[in-house]
Amino acid sequence: MPDFSFIFAQSISGLTAAMFLFLIAAGLSLIFGVLRVLNFAHGTFYMLGAYAAFQFMQWLGPGRGRFWLAALGAAAAIALLGGLVERFLFRHLYGAEELYQLLFTYALVLVLGDAAKMLWGTQQKSVSAPPELGGKALSLFGATIPYYNLFIILLGPVIALGFWLTLQRTRAGRFIRAAALDRETLGALGVNVDALYTWVFVLASFLGGLGGALISPMRATTPGMDTEIIVEAFVVVVIGGLGSFWGTFFGALIYGQVLSFGILFFPRFSIFAVFALMAAVLILRPWGLLGRPLK
């Protein structure tokens, strides 16, 4: 029987992974919820967020507070990019078949992926952890928890709550929820649905870019990280329920823990455990744990 400190350490690492995944999957789920399109390019926005953070760090240089500026700058830049993509490209496809929209987001993956390669090359890039948190760790119940991981664990629920409150309590949030239910009626009531869609894209891209920027101190930034993450994020939203906000949150939590503890029981097949879970969910509740059945 493994001791408590190990189990605790494992659950913390699962929690960290979950909060990262939530940041990225939330944007994917939001776009699907409102626009009914699976945005393959969301992983690319995440990758560009990491590259942008690297670029901002190059310009700013190391120092206190610089990382946070870089991360916010990166997220804002990616939000802008997402907005432009929606306004000038994606908008023309709303009338088209879903397949075309899907193909378009996939084309974006290829085009933006190659653009990133032209800008930053194929060499891996690395961003240092912020000096305020990097290199320090908390010892709790015999487990080592880096401060940066702790920050991520706390940030996840804050963003989730803020996001949820925006959707529930603000005028814009109500419009977004209404758009998800019935676009035409909302338009007929005089709401500028086009602008609303642009803002949904901006918000989702902001979250994706922020996820990429925040993960850059923990991982290498390389070409190809976009397609890796999109698969994981997709599994999360499928487990939680496509378009369901809290479903995405719980999907991420479950994913993180299954992956973390999976290696105890099937050391070489922990990734299999996650996919087995997804398969089980798809069989028992095809619309996900907290999702609604599609009409």
Partner 1 sequence: MHRRTLLILALVLLLPLAAEAQKPIKVGMPMPLSGPPALFGDPASKGAQMYVEEINAKGGVLGRKLELLVRDSKADANEAVRQARELILKDNVEFLVGTLTSAEGPAVSVVAKENKIVFIAPIPKTDQLTAPDKLHPYIFRVASNTTIEGRSAAEIVAKWPVTRVATMSFDYAYGQDVTKAFVEHLKKVKPGVEIVDQQWPKLGEQDYNPFINAQMAKKPEAIFSSIWGGFFVTYSKQAKALGVFDAIKYHFIGVGEAATPETTKSMGADYPVGIWGNSYDAFYWGETAAHKDYVARLSKYLKDEYPSSWAIQGYIGMQFLAEAIKKANSTDSDKVAKALLNLTVETPVGPLTIREKDHQANRGQLYGKTVKDAKYPFAIMKPVTYVDPTKFMD
Taking CB under 8 A as the binding criterion, the range among 12-20, 63-71, 96-104, 198-206 that sits at the site for partner 1 is: 12-20
Rounded to the nearest angstrom, the gap between the alpha carbon of residue 215 and the centroid of all alpha carbons in its chain is: 11
Tell me which stretch binds partner 1 (CB under 8 A): 123-131, 181-189, 191-199, 277-285: 123-131
Q: Assess 143 for contact with partner 1 (CB under 8 A).
A: yes
Q: How far is the CB of 275 from partner 1 (least distance, A)?
A: 11
Told to check if 213 binds partner 1 by CB under 8 A, we report no
Nearer to partner 1, 131 or 187 (CB): 131
Rg (CA), the chain: 19
Distance CA 159, CA 14 (A): 18
Spatial distance between the Cα atoms of 219 and 186, rounded to a whole number of angstroms? 42
Strands 137-140 and 143-146: antiparallel
21-54: buried (b, 16+ CB within 10 Å) or exposed (e) per residue?
A: bbbbbbbbbbbbbbbebbbbbbbbbbbbbbbbbb
Binding-site member from 201, 253, 260, 290 for partner 1 (CB under 8 A): 260
- Please report whether residue 163 would count as binding partner 1 according to CB under 8 A: no
Nearer to partner 1, 174 or 227 (CB): 227
Spatial separation of the C-alpha atoms in residues 146 and 164, rounded to whole Å = 28
- Among the listed ranges 33-41, 156-164, 185-193, 223-231, the one in contact with partner 1 (CB under 8 A) is 223-231
Q: Which residues contact 69 (CB under 8 A, 6 or more apart)?
A: 56, 60
Q: Can you tell me which of 64, 169, 268, 295 binds partner 1, judged by CB under 8 A?
A: 268
Rounded to whole angstroms, the Cα distance separating 233 from 253 reads: 12
Query: Is residue 271 a contact residue for partner 1 (CB under 8 A)?
Result: yes
Identify which of residues 5 and 285 has a Cβ nearer to partner 1 in the complex. 5
At residue 139, the 3 state secondary structure works out as: strand
Using CB under 8 A as the binding rule, whether residue 63 contacts partner 1 is answered as no
Cα separation, 45 vs 49, in Å, equals 6
Q: In this chain, which stretch among 33-41, 84-92, 125-133, 278-286 interacts with partner 1, using CB under 8 A?
A: 125-133
Binding region for partner 1 (CB under 8 A): 2-3, 5-6, 9-10, 13-14, 16-17, 117, 122-126, 128-129, 134-135, 137, 143-144, 146, 148-149, 217-220, 222-225, 228-229, 259-264, 267-268, 270-271
